[in-house]
Amino acid sequence: MKPEHTRRGFLLGTSALALSAAALNWADASAQSRYSFDTAVAIPPLYNGRIEGDVRVFDLNLQSGQTEFFAGLKTDTNGINGSFLGPVLRMRSGETVRMNVKNGLTFDSTLHWHGMNLPAKADGGPHQIIQPQQTWSPEFTVHEASSTTWYHSHQIHATASQVWSGLAGMIIIDDDASAELGLPNEYGVDDIPLVVQDRRFYRDGSMPYERSMHDEMAGMMGNVPLINGTVLPYFAVSNSKLRLRLLNGANASIYNLAFTDGRKFTQIASDGGLLPEPVQMSQLRLAPGERAEIVVDFIANEKVILQSAGTSRGSGMGMMMQEQNPRFDLIEFRTGEALSPSADIPPKLADLPPVSENDATRTRRFLLEMPGMGPMRMLGLGSGFNINGQSMDIGRIDEVVKIGETEIWEIENAGPMTHPFHIHNTQFRILDRDGRKPEPNESGLKDTVVVSPGEIVRLLVRFDNYTDPERPYMYHCHILEHEDAGMMGQFTVV
C-alpha cells in the first residue's frame, strides 16, 4: 500500500516548499506568504555527565515517547533521555568517559559514537547490539580535539528507521587550546547546536518510516524540516557573532546551507575539529553525517533565514539529484535593539600536519555502486547497493588494516547519486577530488566525505591506538537507506 493511501490521510503537500507551507498553514491559520517562524528553536539539554573517580559517566536511556511537533498533534517518536533525539553530551579531550546505554525500547538497538577513535568493542556499531532492557557500558578515552560530533543508532538493516524515529544526538568535545581562541562558547546563547533533519509528516501528525521503492533508491526524504526537532523555528540572537554547530542528521538529504540575504559566514570547523584557518563562505554543502561549525555576524534589528538552497543541477537522473538537495527554509534568526559585542575570530585556529601522500604505504580502492548499474553489475557481481561488488555481510571482514600506517583510500562513485562516504574510528584528510585539491573548508579533519557521481576522491587515512583482530569497524555510505541496503563494509585494525 502506498503511504498516500493509508488512513493517515494525505501527506503535508506535494513538493518540499509547498509542503512546508501546507504544514504551516495547517498548523497556524494565520501564516502569511512567508512562514511566521513562531516557535523558539529547541535547544537540547546540555549533559555533562557526572564524575566517578576519574571517569566521566553518562547515563543514556533509549526510550519511546510522543512529541508535539505541531500544536495539538502527538507524534510517536523515540529518543535518548527524552521523547525525540537526545541531549548534547559534553566531554573534554583526554578524559575517559563511560556510557551506560540502557535500551528501554522493545527492539534491539545500538548507539554509535560517530567520528571518534575508540576500541572496536566500544564503537557501538552493528556488532554491539543492546537488547531490550539491557545496558551496555563502553568506556573509552576521548582522543579528539575540540570538535562537534554525534551519536546515533547503528542497528544492522534498521539504522535508517531508528534514526528517523529520533535515536540520535550531538556530542561537543572541548580542549584547552580552543578555549584560548575567544570563539563564541556560551551554550544556548552564542554557541548553539543545530541538528538539521527532515521528516515526512502526514496530516494526523504521524511520521511513520514507510518506504516506497523510490525511497529505497533515493533515501527517505521529508516534507518538513526539523531543527533540533522544531518545525520552522526562530532563534533570538543576543550577540554580534553566533556560532552554529551544524549537524546533518537527515537520513538522505544533502543541504546546501545559505542565508536568504546571501550574507557571508565563516566556517571554523569541519567534522573532526577546527580548521587551520577560518574560511569565508556564502554556501555550505552538508551531507548526512557531516558537521560544520560556522560563525555568523549580526547587526541590531534584523531578521534572516537560514535555508537549504536546493540545487539546479542534475541531468538524466536529474529528478533524484534534485531531491537529494531539497529546498527548505530552516530557521529564522532575529536580533533586537542591541547586541553584545563578540571578539574577532583569530586568523589561525589549529595546527594540522601537512597532507602528504608520500607517507602512504598502500592504496585501497572502494567502488560505490547502486542496484542495476555500474561495471561490477555488468560482470554479474553486486546486484544491490554494494562496495567493490560486495553487499554488506556482517560475517565477512572486507579489509584488514595495520595500526598506525598511513594509507590512501580511493573512493569512486560509479552511480548517478551522490554518496557521503564515512569511515569509523578515524579522522582523515582529503587528498584530492578527481585530482583537484580540496576546497579550504574541506582541508581539515573529516570522517564523512561527499563523493559525487562519477567522482574519485582520495583520502589519507590512518588508524591509531587500538587493535582488535576479531571485531570490525564499518565504512559506509551515510545515506542510511543505502547503508541498510548493503553499501557498507567492515575492516579490522591489527
Give the interface with Cu ion as residue ranges (CB under 5 A).
114, 419, 424, 477, 479, 482
Short-list 258, 266, 333, 259, CA closest to 302 = 333
Q: Which residues lie closer than 8 Å to 14 by C-beta, 6 or more apart?
A: none
DSSP 448: E
* Cα 338 to Cα 236, 239, 334, distances in angstroms: 12, 8, 11
| Phi-psi map region of 143: left, alpha, beta (phi>0 left; psi -120 to 50 alpha) | alpha
Give the integer Cα–Cα distance in Å for 290 and 207.
24
229 touching ligand C2O, by CB under 6 A: no
Give the integer Cα–Cα distance in Å for 55 and 8.
47
SS3 215: helix
Q: Contact at 8 Å (CB) between 222 and 30?
A: no
State the cell numbers at 48.
555533562
Question: Which of the listed partners (Cu ion, ligand C2O, none) does 56 bind, with a CB threshold of 5 to 8 Å by partner kind?
Answer: none
165 vs 427, which CB is nearer to Cu ion? 427
Q: Shortest Cβ distance from residue 442 to ligand C2O (Å)? A: 18
37 vs 150, which CB is nearer to ligand C2O? 150
243 vs 482, which CB is nearer to Cu ion? 482
486 touching ligand C2O, by CB under 6 A: no
Q: Are strands 419-423 and 468-477 parallel, antiparallel or unpaired?
A: antiparallel
Give the integer Cα–Cα distance in Å for 344 and 181.
9
* Cα 81 to Cα 51, 63, 96, 173, 431, distances in angstroms: 19, 7, 21, 20, 40
154 touching ligand C2O, by CB under 6 A: yes
- Taking contact as CB under 6 A, which single stretch among the options 189-197, 304-312, 347-355, 474-482 is the one that binds ligand C2O? 474-482
Q: Which residues lie closer than 8 Å to 45 by C-beta, 6 or more apart?
A: 81, 82, 87, 88
Question: Which of the listed partners (ligand C2O, Cu ion, none) does 289 bind, with a CB threshold of 5 to 8 Å by partner kind?
Answer: ligand C2O
Q: Residue 235, class by beta-carbon neighbours within 10 Å (0-12 exposed, 13-18 middle, 19+ buried)? A: buried
56 vs 112, which CB is nearer to ligand C2O? 112
Q: Which of 56, 102, 114, 471 binds ligand C2O (CB under 6 A)?
A: 114
Q: Shortest Cβ distance from residue 170 to ligand C2O (Å)? A: 12
Q: Shortest Cβ distance from residue 211 to Cu ion (Å)? A: 15
Q: Are strands 399-401 and 488-493 parallel, antiparallel or unpaired?
A: parallel
Question: Which of the listed partners (ligand C2O, Cu ion, none) does 241 bind, with a CB threshold of 5 to 8 Å by partner kind?
Answer: none
DSSP 164: H
* Residue 278, phi then psi, degrees to nearest 5: -65, 145
Q: Shortest Cβ distance from residue 232 to ligand C2O (Å)? A: 26
471 touching ligand C2O, by CB under 6 A: no
152 vs 241, which CB is nearer to ligand C2O? 152
Binding mask 260-299 for ligand C2O (x = CB under 6 A): -----------------------------x----------
- Taking contact as CB under 6 A, which single stretch among the options 89-97, 141-149, 230-238, 473-481 is the one that binds ligand C2O? 473-481
Question: Which of the listed partners (Cu ion, ligand C2O, none) does 419 bind, with a CB threshold of 5 to 8 Å by partner kind?
Answer: Cu ion
47 vs 491, which CB is nearer to ligand C2O? 491
Q: Shortest Cβ distance from residue 481 to Cu ion (Å)? A: 8
* Cα 232 to Cα 22, 86, 128, 249, distances in angstroms: 12, 20, 36, 16
Residue of closest CB approach to ligand C2O: 114
Handedness of CA 172, 176, 180, 181 (dihedral sign): negative
Strands (E), 353-477: 362-369, 386-387, 399-401, 407-413, 419-423, 429-433, 448-451, 456-461, 468-477
Give the integer Cα–Cα distance in Å for 98 and 60.
10
Q: Which of 56, 241, 476, 482 binds ligand C2O (CB under 6 A)?
A: 476
Q: Shortest Cβ distance from residue 288 to ligand C2O (Å)? A: 8
446 vs 476, which CB is nearer to ligand C2O? 476
Question: Which of the listed partners (ligand C2O, Cu ion, none) does 291 bind, with a CB threshold of 5 to 8 Å by partner kind?
Answer: none
User: One-letter amino acid identity for 367?
Assistant: L
152 touching ligand C2O, by CB under 6 A: yes
Q: Shortest Cβ distance from residue 488 to Cu ion (Å)? A: 10
419 vs 446, which CB is nearer to Cu ion? 419
Question: Which of the listed partners (ligand C2O, Cu ion, none) does 482 bind, with a CB threshold of 5 to 8 Å by partner kind?
Answer: Cu ion
DSSP 49: -
245 touching ligand C2O, by CB under 6 A: no
Q: Contact at 8 Å (CB) between 252 and 196?
A: no
422 touching ligand C2O, by CB under 6 A: yes
241 touching ligand C2O, by CB under 6 A: no
41 vs 250, which CB is nearer to ligand C2O? 250
17 vs 129, which CB is nearer to ligand C2O? 129
Q: Which of 102, 112, 211, 462 binds ligand C2O (CB under 6 A)?
A: 112
* Cα 475 to Cα 125, 235, 326, 409, 490, distances in angstroms: 11, 36, 26, 11, 6
474 touching ligand C2O, by CB under 6 A: yes
Count of other CB atoms within 10 angstroms of residue 305? 18
Which chain residues interact with ligand C2O by CB under 6 A? 112, 114, 152, 154, 289, 422, 424, 474, 476, 478
